[in-house]
């Protein structure tokens, strides 16, 4: 790998890390960056997953104050995320097929719409009237998010943010921090599975991970200056671009 590629991936990682913390869309930057430097799609997907762990590490370090009093709550959600990620990572190794890639763009768009809905008064009233049945469905949603994180991951943060917004009473900035940490945990679990498959391009992972760590730290700092409504709209707009890119990629 040349120095120029190394530097390019660090820069791409920084941008992806910021985008991940602010708009839950790291893969909109990091996955195409890996493809641009000649990484095969499946290898790029696995390598991207391994590097994304460091976004959560960076954002966690910059959000320790916001996470105060929420670690026990996070642990509860983490159990469901881990279960899902194990399933998702195992599915990717066994069934990397094209069918899922064709469905993903539509899942991203649906997720964007649900995210905007999560900031509405109607969603707030639904959340306040939640019962045991709805809670079970929400935790099942966390497992599904884990499966999606382990299998593909693009826009998984959006789904995670929606589920957490329903389950948690914390402030939005704390929910966003939990989203980043859980996403990294899901990627770490998936990586443990991918290591045995031998498809991770470690040479590409290192510079991308460095950038994602820096970007995750900076992104979580910058979100303090944005309103939850602005973050949701930024994420939704990024979702449309990502869905378009994924749809185009799936056809070629």
Please give the pLDDT value at position 128: 53
239 contacts: CB under 8 Å, gap ≥ 6: 25, 108, 109, 111, 112, 115, 155, 158
Please give the pLDDT value at position 130: 60
Burial profile 222-246: b = 16 or more Cβ within 10 angstroms, e = fewer: ebeebebeebbbbbbebbeebbebb
Please give the pLDDT value at position 46: 83
Please give the pLDDT value at position 209: 94
**Structural domain count of the chain:** 1
Please give the pLDDT value at position 19: 82
**d(Cα 207, Cα 15) in Å, to the nearest integer?**
13
Burial (CB < 10 A; 0-12, 13-18, 19+), residue 8, is: middle
Q: Kindly give the confidence (pLDDT) of every residue in the chain, 252 residues in length, as a single tens digit, with 9 standing for 90 and above.
A: 899 999 999 999 999 888 887 777 787 788 889 988 988 877 887 888 889 889 888 888 888 888 999 999 999 999 999 999 999 988 887 876 666 677 778 877 877 776 677 666 655 555 555 667 778 888 998 999 999 888 877 668 878 888 888 888 888 889 988 998 999 999 899 888 888 776 789 999 999 999 999 998 998 888 777 777 777 788 778 778 878 877 887 776
Residue identified by tokens 């109607």 is 122
Domain limits at 173?
Answer: 3-251
Residue identified by tokens 């990294």 is 184
Please give the pLDDT value at position 206: 94
**d(Cα 103, Cα 99) in Å, to the nearest integer?**
7
For residue 87, CA distances in Å to 65, 98, 111 come to: 33, 18, 21
Please give the pLDDT value at position 228: 72
């Amino acid at each position: 790998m040349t120095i120029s590629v190394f530097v390019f991936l660090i820069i791409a990682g920084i941008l992806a890390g910021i985008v991940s913390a602010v708009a839950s869309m790291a893969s909109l930057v990091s996955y195409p960056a890996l493809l641009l430097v000649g990484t095969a799609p499946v290898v790029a997907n696995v390598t991207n997953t391994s590097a994304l762990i460091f976004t959560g590490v960076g954002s966690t370090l910059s959000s320790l104050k916001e996470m105060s009093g929420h670690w026990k709550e996070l642990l509860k959600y983490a159990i469901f995320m881990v279960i899902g990620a194990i399933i998702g990572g195992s599915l990717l190794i066994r069934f990397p097929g094209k069918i899922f890639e064709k469905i993903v763009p539509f899942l991203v768009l649906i997720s964007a719409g649900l995210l905007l809905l999560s900031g509405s008064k109607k969603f707030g009233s639904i959340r306040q009237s939640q019962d045991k049945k709805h809670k079970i469905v929400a935790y099942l949603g966390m497992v599904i998010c884990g499966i999606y994180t382990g299998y593909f991951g693009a826009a998984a943060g959006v789904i995670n943010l929606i589920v957490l917004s329903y389950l948690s009473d914390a402030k939005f900035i704390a929910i966003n921090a939990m989203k980043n940490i859980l996403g990294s945990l899901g990627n770490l679990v998936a990586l443990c599975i991918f290591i045995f498959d031998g498809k991770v391009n470690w040479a590409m992972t290192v510079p991308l991970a460095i950038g994602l760590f820096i970007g995750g730290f900076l992104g979580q700092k910058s979100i303090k200056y944005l309103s939850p409504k602005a973050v949701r709209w930024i994420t939704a707009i990024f979702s449309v671009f990502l869905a378009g890119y994924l749809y185009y990629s799936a056809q070629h």
